[in-house]
Structures are given as C-alpha cells and as structure tokens.
A and B are shown apart, each in its own frame.
Chain A
C-alpha cells in the first residue's frame, strides 16, 4: 500500500495548486508518524479535542457504541508497531530532502505561503517525533526554517514553530555532551536570538523569539543559562521604547517560568529566582494601554499564571 500511494503523494507535493501541495505535505508528515508507531498520540489528542465540543450525554452514547474490545486491543497493538522500514531507502531519502527540494522550487513563497509554512512546521515536528535520522546539516536547516517562521506576523504560525522547535530539541539536541561538543551551530544561533530579542525593532521578531526560548531543551539552556534567564527576565517588563510589545512581554513571562521548570528549580541560582519573582510582580503591575485597549492585561494574566506555577515549584522543592 505504501509503495503504491507514497510516490503519488510525494509527487503532489510539487503540484502548482496550493491545496494539493498542502494536503500532500501534511499527509506525508502524518504517514511518517503513523508508520513509526506514534499515530495514537495525535489521534487521541484530536479525538479528545473533538469530544470537548460534544455534550456529555452524547459522549456516553459514542463510547457505548465502541464495544468492540477485541478489535480495539488488536488495533492499539498494530498502531504502535514501528513500520518505518516499509518505506524504501530511496523514497526515505527523497522525503528527508523534501522541504529543501520544495524550497528550491519556490513552493513556500507567494500566495498561500502561510499555509505552507504551517505545513513545514508540522513536517519538522512529525519527523522529529518519529526520530528520523538526519545529519547536522539538515538539522541546522530545519532549525533555521523554524526560526524564520517564528518571525512571521501570524500568531498560529509562531506557536506552531515554537512547538516544532521543542520537538526538534527534545529529539536531537537533548544530550549534554553532544550539544557542547558537536553542535556549536545550535548554541551560536540561539545566542543570536537572545541578542535580537532585546534589540530588534520588529515586534513580530521579539514576540517570536521570546516564545521560542520557553521551548528549548535542557541541554541547550544549560549552555547559556545565565544570559538566557537574565535576558528573558529583562524582556518581561516594558523598556520604555515606542515599539514595546505587550504580547512579547506575555511570552517572555511564560518562557521564563518554562525555562526554570525545564532546568528544575533546584539547579537555578537563587539570585535569578529572586530576580524573576521581582519581575513577575512588576509584570502584574503592567497597565499598558494602546489603541487596542488594555493590552497590559495579557501580561498581568500570564504573570498571575506563571507566579502560580513558580510558587508551586518553590513550595514543593
């Protein structure tokens, strides 16, 4: 079945029509997940989301119809088998190179670029989740694509870039020694992001980068712990500039607590924790107004949520 349909889907990735191209690239990402035995994760998540929109009584009816225990057991077992080897090596090579071949043909530009960029993020997230083997050159390119997408003005695109980067980091850059010795490019590009998250005049860039910081893996954070925590902490409060962005501050607040959680509160310097708490209190006092109204409320709400998480961590550790 794979041999019959995968080449056709692959060819459709280069179709001129946006909807055909999008469907094909999305399907290849999903097939990678399905063949690597992880489709149950996204399936269950999607079903849960769908059930939230249904009345409780109806959910019970749906569940009571699902009484085929034997089938469910067999299906769950089959679903978790790793069958990625069913894709022949030539096709797998083509799939690994797919994004770059598409980029070469300018298929991510022009009309519908946002839709295709969401697809790129999905492809990278799925390939990382399936832990397909990529060399450093590919991983570097993936990382650059995600960083580029995180600068987009579309919030959905930024959020999906962040979650794809999280998966990429977890799958490929999560071993301390490896990141230190062999993956200098990861550290150098993240360091550049840290600088630009403070200085850049484009609010989409500062918002996107502040969002990304909360999704880095522990090994990457450890390489730049002090600078990262101090910068994000600084980004949580207004800098008194004309292009200060409330949403960037909101994501900085969220990321700061995420970074501390990823590191484990016990391994963070107590001075930084104190500084973070002070800045969180300052964020709860953010009453910035602009033509959209009380935009500071986004920061205040996020600060309250983050304080809750941080104080919980402090209390239990």
Chain B
C-alpha cells in the first residue's frame, strides 16, 4: 500500500473538495476518513479530517473557498490541488464550477 498512499490521499482530497456532486464529495471524505483510521500513513490525515467532514463539505462554496485553503497549507496537497483546478476545473462544462474554481485559485 505504501507506494500508493501519496497519490491516493491527494486524489481523495481533490475529490472531496472539488467534485460537483455532494454525494461524491461526502463519499470521498468517508473513504479518506477510513484510510486515515486504518493506514495512519496519510500525511496530516487527522488535521484534515477535523476540517473536512460530512457537514463542511456539503456546501460546494464552503468546500472550494474555505476547506481547500486549510488543506492547501500542507505542502503535499498544495500543488496537486492547484494543478487540478488549472487543468481540469477551469475547463469544466458548468459555468458556476468554472467561476468557483477561479475564486478558489485566487484564494489559494
């Protein structure tokens, strides 16, 4: 599992922060929580879990503009988050998501 921990953790983070669907964000957050509990090798897992939970991620704006800032303070996550916003979310089909991604980039 060890070689995959870094990529798994960042991908789950991206998913629970920036996915358009509330169900996907919550599912990713639950998966992240399980992994932190079982593997204990996710970087800053506990710190992230205190901020990114079922409720804080339920609102997309809060996830994009509030929770993402907290997680971006950790070096391991900062670049993948920005990378995802620039390469994927700025080209999203939904206008609101593109606008929120722009705002999130500005805040990050």
Contacts and interface: CB of A to CB of B under 8 A. Distances in A.
Interface of A: 1, 5, 8-9, 12, 17, 19-20, 22-24, 26-27, 29-31, 33-35, 39, 42-43, 46-47, 49-50, 54, 58, 61-62, 65-68, 71, 75, 79, 115
Nearest to A34: B106
Given A12-B90, A31-B105, 13 more contacts: A19-B98, A23-B91, A23-B101, A30-B102, A34-B106, A50-B60, A50-B61, A62-B55, A68-B50, A68-B70, A71-B70, A75-B69, A75-B70
A23 B101 CA distance: 8
Q: Say which size band chain B's interface belongs to.
A: 20 to 34
15 contacts: A1-B79, A5-B82, A9-B90, A22-B98, A23-B89, A30-B106, A39-B107, A42-B103, A47-B62, A50-B60, A58-B55, A62-B55, A65-B51, A67-B50, A115-B95
B24 interface: no
Interface of B: 50-51, 53, 55-56, 58-62, 65-66, 69-70, 73, 79, 82, 86, 89-93, 95, 98-103, 105-108
B86 A9 contact: yes
Chain B contact surface mostly = helix
Q: Which of B89, B90, B100, B106 has the most CB of A within 10 A?
A: B106
A66 B65 contact: no
Q: Which of B82, B95, B102 has the most CB of A within 10 A?
A: B102
Contacts of B82: 1, 5
A5 B91 CA distance: 14
Contacts, number: 100
Contacts of B91: 12, 17, 19-20, 23
A106 to B, nearest CB: 21
Contacts of B99: 26
B56 A62 contact: yes
Contacts of B59: 50, 54, 62
A39 B106 contact: yes
B13 to A, nearest CB: 16
A47 B61 contact: yes
